[in-house]
Amino acid sequence: MSQHETTGEAAPDEALRHQAATFALRYTCEDCVYFLPDAPPGDSCAHGYPNLAHLRRPAGPIVFCKEYELR
Ligand code: SF4
């Protein structure tokens, strides 16, 4: 059992998602200048990165991209 489960705190990714929604933070491919919206998911990065983990997702771990550039 993790520390977050024992204290009743939100898991880090869940807390970050909540803050991102509250403050309209942008960090996923959909808001990156290199995103190709008409390409298939996972193959929609102009740099050719396999980007499934960087796409906007309602749950699961948050994975940041070092090449992210706000559109
Ligand atoms: S550079 Fe990174 S954040 Fe931007 S579209 Fe490619 S994988 Fe996504």
In a domain, 63, yes or no: no
Atom index in ligand 1 nearest the CA of residue 35 equals: 5
Q: Which residue has the higher pLDDT, 59 or 25?
A: 25
58 CA → ligand 1 middle, Å: 18
3-state SS assignment for residue 69: coil
In a domain, 71, yes or no: no
* Average pLDDT, integer, range 7-19: 80
In a domain, 47, yes or no: yes
In a domain, 50, yes or no: yes
Q: How many CA atoms lie within 13 A of 56 on its CB side?
A: 10
In a domain, 26, yes or no: yes
Q: pLDDT at position 61, please?
A: 86
Atom index in ligand 1 nearest the CA of residue 47 equals: 6
- Rounded Cα distance between 47 and 16, Å, is 26
Find out whether the beta carbon of 27 lies less than 6 Å from any atom of ligand 1.
Answer: no
Overall number of domains in the chain: 1
Atom index in ligand 1 nearest the CA of residue 44 equals: 5
Which residues constitute the domain of residue 19?
3-54
- Give the chain's mean pLDDT: 88
Supply the pTM of this predicted model.
0.82
In a domain, 38, yes or no: yes
- pLDDT tens figures, 41-57: 999 999 999 999 999 98
